[in-house]
Amino acid sequence: MQPDERTKAALKAGCICKGVKLLRRIEAINTGASTFAEVAAATGIGDGPCKGKRCEERVWQLLAGQR
């Protein structure tokens, strides 16, 4: 990830319910999380008011991009 992309990811919402930034999701994946449940456990996403309905699909897209 380039420095400018990292800055954007640090500012962009990854989970609006919990206030988790996109960068935290990316870091969780880069350190070995390979499922939504693992990313959720590492970042705290998925248990807000929407129960992952807003962020789960994007996590799967990020995971697919890592393969």
- Tell me the three state secondary structure of residue 47: coil
Residue 21: count of CB within 10 angstroms of its CB: 16
Predicted confidence at residue 9, as pLDDT, reads 83
Measured between alpha carbons, how far is 30 from 19 in angstroms, rounded to an integer?
Answer: 20
Q: Where are the domains of the chain?
A: 3-66
pLDDT along the chain (67 residues), means of 10: 80 89 94 97 94 93 85
Rounded to two decimals, the pTM is 0.85
Predicted confidence at residue 44, as pLDDT, reads 94
Predicted confidence at residue 6, as pLDDT, reads 82
Is 1.10.10 the CATH classification of the domain at 3-66?
yes
